[in-house]
Structure 1
Amino acid sequence: MAMTGVLRPGHVALRVLDLNEAVRHYVEVLGLFETARDDKGRVFLKAWDEADHHSVVLREADEAGMDYMGWRVASDAELERLAGDLQASSLASDFSWIAAGEHPATGKRFRFTIPTGHVMELYSQKDVVGCNTGYTNPDPWPDGLRGIAPSRFDHCLLYGDDLDGTVKLFVEVLGFGVAEQVLAGPDKLMIGAFLSCSNKPHDVAFIRQPVKNKFHHASFLLDNWNEILKAADILSKRKVSIDIGPTRHGITRGETIYFFDSSGNRNEVFSGGYIYYPDKPTITWTDDQLGPAIFYHDRKINDAFLTVYT
């Protein structure tokens, strides 16, 4: 599939209550690698198979949650084009350019707010520091991994009120496809949307809730179900708060376990799922089947999963 426009999720910036404890969680438990710290007190991290300088940014604050999510685009020209399209659209607001170098090893970024209240940004340049196996005759995985050790940052799930406007923006302006949706009631109100800019089941997902700018989870990729089970062992051994799992989703068909960082931000490690192409029909779930849609094995909703967010 020709990749143009928005290529993939590039980074997620999270607020944490205690930076030292958060770094311990993301390095020792999740298994990311610290790549930099800056004079603003932020810590930058990446997973072992990511080429770019960082994919996670941690900042100490009084309230946990997500500051913003960044998206890698195909070129400088695409960055300028998409910035213009967003400014011409009535669906986004609060536009600004962030100077190159404000994130270490990163070019200029175009920042905007979407109808659900979340802050997003686009960028086209970030230094390639390389994955931990290298790119010539590489082994399948590197030595010296710690913790769960996902290969990459995969997606976020976000909560907000104006789901319709946000889906319209991602589809019509940013070029995403709707891989799956959840519809409710006789009017078939969309209450969930799983959006892809690639061939993954989702690169970002949104759930309709009467709130603005809420963060449900950041997800990181593992290879297979056995690694999900091993992640559960590691989380229990480390006495990390587990939300639910190991289990499988009906939506995306992915295998999963959810847990919390030391500040209450939810993490997921995820494997599996199908290949998505733009011509694939949208998969639809109805609200009377929400149990197996979210947790296919239990076939029932965990109330905390729907109501706990940062």
Structure 2
Amino acid sequence: MALEGVMRPGHAQIRVLELDAAVHFYRDVLGLVETGRDASGRVYFKCWDERDHHSIVLREAESAGIDFLGFKVRDDATLDRFEAKLAEAGIATTSLPAGDLLETGRRVRFTLPSGHEIELYATKTSVGNGMPMVNPAPWNEQSETGIAPVRFDHALLYGPNIADVKRIFVDILGFYLVERVLGPDGETETALWLSCGQKVHDIAFVEHPEPGKLHHCSFLMDSWEKVLRAGDIMSKNEISVDIGPTRHGITRGCTIYAWDPSGNRFETFQGGYYPYPDYETITWTWDAFPQGLDYPQRKLHESFLSIVT
């Protein structure tokens, strides 16, 4: 079972152009909870219902984008097993010591053929969600601050060689392919949606000539009504919206895409179905891709296909 290996996306470190503006946005508009700052100037956040110390890390830099994406594995023995499997496959890894990232244990990092840095870790301090473990309420005050997503849900990454990337995630890390888009030739896979559990996707990739690009980080909302409320908050705060509110054909998710102050795209996502590892992969042909992206309008939005950080 996949949850005995990789359990979920755990964190993303995002590059931002102006740290103060980014902190205001992620804390006060998106509504994440600030949980710490480290000596290098990075700022740590979690979504209100997440229990681990952080899921989003901001780092000020000269260019926007993503530094790395981390996945939490079951335990230290699992981390050792994946490190060995990566080595057997000829994939170089770097071991980062506990504490290099606040409240996080040892991490094993490697570079995908798409140019993205991926890391695995087994331990991170639990800080809870502000509610007791006995007789908790269904929500707290933090869940009403800003957009207030439930959790960091997934990321979509753009880069080359995604066929090789798929083999790493499926053959080594135990993910399975939930949906895919075929290119105009009807054979080449140009987009992939992969899951390590029972979510419709935990990570997705699109073939792109430039390596290491971020398309978006996605945050889960409780309901379609919460997605619409997020749209209201975006408008009240003059946040630039890319697409939505709308519904995908791919994953069946309801969504709004918008940009943070540095130009990193983010998504407020709700819905989707619940696949199992034995589900047959859903295939979208190139001519139907507009419905896959925006089912009501059946439209390929140029900004969605071309703007990455």
Normalised by the length of structure 1, the TM-score is: 0.98
What residue number does 1:6 align with? 6
Matching of residue 171 in structure 1 with residue 170 in structure 2: yes
What residue number does 1:156 align with? 155
Flag the 1:79–1:135 CA change in 2: closer, same or farther, 3 A.
same
Using the TM superposition, give the Cα deviation of residue 139 of structure 1 relative to its aligned residue in structure 2, in angstroms: 1.4
Equivalent AA in structure 2 for residue 17 of structure 1: L
Equivalent AA in structure 2 for residue 225 of structure 1: W
Using the TM superposition, give the Cα deviation of residue 218 of structure 1 relative to its aligned residue in structure 2, in angstroms: 0.2
The 5 Å alignment of 1:114-125 reads: 114-125=112-123
The 5 Å alignment of 1:58-77 reads: 58-77=58-77
Q: Report which stretch shifted further, 68-77 or 139-148.
A: 139-148
Equivalent AA in structure 2 for residue 247 of structure 1: T
Secondary structure of the 2:141 match is coil
8 Å CA contact retained: 2:2, 2:197: no
Flag the 1:190–1:29 CA change in 2: closer, same or farther, 3 A.
same
Equivalent AA in structure 2 for residue 303 of structure 1: E
Distance 1:3 1:169 in 2: 17
What residue number does 2:255 align with? 256
What residue number does 1:299 align with? 298
Secondary structure of the 1:231 match is helix
What residue number does 1:83 align with? 83
Equivalent AA in structure 1 for residue 230 of structure 2: A
8 Å CA contact retained: 2:186, 2:285: no
Distance 2:43 2:269 in 1: 24
Secondary structure of the 1:87 match is helix
Distance 2:112 2:28 in 1: 34
Percent identical residues: 50
Residue-by-residue CA offset, 1:42-67 (whole Å, 9 max, x unaligned): 00000011010000000000000000
Q: Report which stretch shifted further, 291-300 or 138-147.
A: 138-147
Residue-by-residue CA offset, 1:234-268 (whole Å, 9 max, x unaligned): 00000011111000000000000001001000010
8 Å CA contact retained: 2:3, 2:74: yes
Distance 1:134 1:178 in 2: 37
Residue-by-residue CA offset, 1:267-309 (whole Å, 9 max, x unaligned): 1010000001101111110110110101111101110011000
Matching of residue 205 in structure 1 with residue 204 in structure 2: yes
Distance 1:110 1:89 in 2: 15
Distance 2:3 2:72 in 1: 11
Secondary structure of the 2:164 match is helix
Distance 2:185 2:55 in 1: 41
Secondary structure of the 1:51 match is coil
Secondary structure of the 1:252 match is coil
Equivalent AA in structure 2 for residue 213 of structure 1: G
Q: Report which stretch shifted further, 215-224 or 142-151.
A: 142-151
Distance 1:25 1:7 in 2: 29
Distance 1:42 1:210 in 2: 30
Distance 1:289 1:211 in 2: 25
Q: Structure 1: 5+ residue runs without aligned partners?
A: none
Equivalent AA in structure 1 for residue 237 of structure 2: R
Residue-by-residue CA offset, 1:36-89 (whole Å, 9 max, x unaligned): 000000000000110100000000000000000000000100000001101111
Secondary structure of the 1:126 match is coil
Equivalent AA in structure 2 for residue 112 of structure 1: F
- Runs of 4 or more consecutive aligned structure 1 residues displaced over 4 Å after TM superposition: none
Secondary structure of the 2:3 match is coil
Flag the 1:67–1:2 CA change in 2: closer, same or farther, 3 A.
closer
Residue-by-residue CA offset, 1:94-115 (whole Å, 9 max, x unaligned): x210010011111000010011
What residue number does 2:107 align with? 109
What residue number does 1:146 align with? 145
Distance 2:185 2:267 in 1: 32
Equivalent AA in structure 1 for residue 108 of structure 2: F
Residue-by-residue CA offset, 1:2-26 (whole Å, 9 max, x unaligned): 7211000000000000000000010
Using the TM superposition, give the Cα deviation of residue 132 of structure 1 relative to its aligned residue in structure 2, in angstroms: 2.5
Distance 1:243 1:252 in 2: 19
Flag the 1:2–1:217 CA change in 2: closer, same or farther, 3 A.
closer
Matching of residue 16 in structure 1 with residue 16 in structure 2: yes
What residue number does 2:268 align with? 269
Normalised by the length of structure 2, the TM-score is: 0.98
Using the TM superposition, give the Cα deviation of residue 210 of structure 1 relative to its aligned residue in structure 2, in angstroms: 1.1
What residue number does 1:50 align with? 50
